[in-house]
Structure 1
């Protein structure tokens, strides 16, 4: 612990010093009132009072009711500090299982060329959309059985969040193109990472998720870009039912019908080919 940090904590009351020291040791820059109570042993009212005073002194930033950020001492006179939105997402999920997904995961895996301004989080608990610390958070509810294809993403040397792996990110984008910028953005991610994506894992995830539209879209894109052999494509076709789905559910129901994949091609092959040039 730095001398500067020790000098700063000496100017706080004993409970506040205890709180800040413990939060720093736990690497918990984003914390809740419940954390304050469990660390200090204070009542809910006393914990709120302690945090309110710390906020007045510019030591913490209020993100939303009951959720705060520590203002790092190295920021000097700064009295506002918003931590990584990915760490905030982890706190908003609470004790529930979660992982960053869809457009957010596409961006973190560098599978997009356009910035994404919403933080997408898949979570086993239903959490309403909200804006915290200037960031928009959108939660996608999943069941415990749908929690697979997840890995750690390190924010820095000591802190990490959970994120969908590349293959799961593509599968989620095929299920909810609206949360990934549309089917052409998902196709772009597939093409950009074609040399590292594992096709067998994509197929396995599609089978585990069990959503017909995902199987159709995945099969068609793999075939269009020449990324899978005939046996893989036939295994996907074996999962199809007679129902037709739109290639991109965000676009109108127009375009030719492709019986091979039970898809209505409302995105043209030329539009998909343009992805290779991007």
Structure 2
């Protein structure tokens, strides 16, 4: 560290400075690789807004790296990058894939469909439901709708099923039988379309949703 060939991230964890950068005291390394090293082999995957960025579902870079893991962890800030950890159940470690961030380094990340499901489960980690909806629309040609439905049912969270069904219907991305499959089994409880926003707006009985985001705002994504 004193010679400028490595940067200390936390006790016992360092990242080497590339030779071409010379003596550099503030080299953060690739944040995605750093996240992997912080976890030190523990079960985890890059998720939410970070996964959205990896999958080309957002136009704005994020300054926080999101990591899902079964073990509770406090956020870590290393050299100006915040690493935020979201606790997930071990049985929910599915729908994951490997992503090469350099020619030598790869990381584990939620696949496209799982990224959408995580975003609908916890929109607060993605910038809100509207951002998740934009990402869904941006990658509509590549999304496997059957896999989306399968993941939603496997997660087993009613709010996810409601939000997914509503967005698929809004963007005309699913046939009627698929939407019926999602509607089957919904309870009478209403949930907010976006849990980040206040409980206001009309109620949509078909999906048991309180539309606290203007549907026209979501439809406007198609025109941008």
Query: What TM-score results when the alignment is normalised by the length of structure 1?
Result: 0.78
Q: Does structure 2 retain, via aligned residues, the 8 Å contact 1:215–1:239? A: no
Q: Name which of 257, 260, 266 aligns with 2:212.
A: 266
Q: Name which of 43, 54, 59 aligns with 2:5.
A: 59
Asked whether 1:216 is paired with 2:141, we answer: no
Q: Does structure 1 retain, via aligned residues, the 8 Å contact 2:67–2:83? A: yes
- Secondary structure of the structure 1 residue equivalent to 2:147: helix
Aligned to 2:59: 113
Query: What TM-score results when the alignment is normalised by the length of structure 2?
Result: 0.96
User: C-alpha deviations, 1:202-223, integer Å up to 9, x for none?
Assistant: 0000001000100000000000
Q: Name which of 81, 106, 129 aligns with 1:160.
A: 106
Structure 2 unaligned regions, length at least 5 = none
- Secondary structure of the structure 1 residue equivalent to 2:45: strand
Partner Cα separation in structure 1 for residue 182 and residue 86 of structure 2:
26
Q: How many residues align?
A: 224
Aligned to 2:129: 183
Asked whether 1:97 is paired with 2:53, we answer: no
- Secondary structure of the structure 2 residue equivalent to 1:157: coil
Computed over aligned residues only, the root mean square deviation of the Cα atoms, in angstroms, reads 1.1
Task: Tell me which of the two structures has the higher relative contact order, counting C-alpha pairs closer than 8 angstroms and 6 or more residues apart.
Answer: 2
User: C-alpha deviations, 1:220-244, integer Å up to 9, x for none?
Assistant: 0000110000110000001311110
Greater C-alpha Rg: 1
More helix by share: 1
Partner Cα separation in structure 1 for residue 137 and residue 173 of structure 2:
9
Partner Cα separation in structure 2 for residue 169 and residue 106 of structure 1:
7
Alignment of 1:9-28 (within 5 A): none
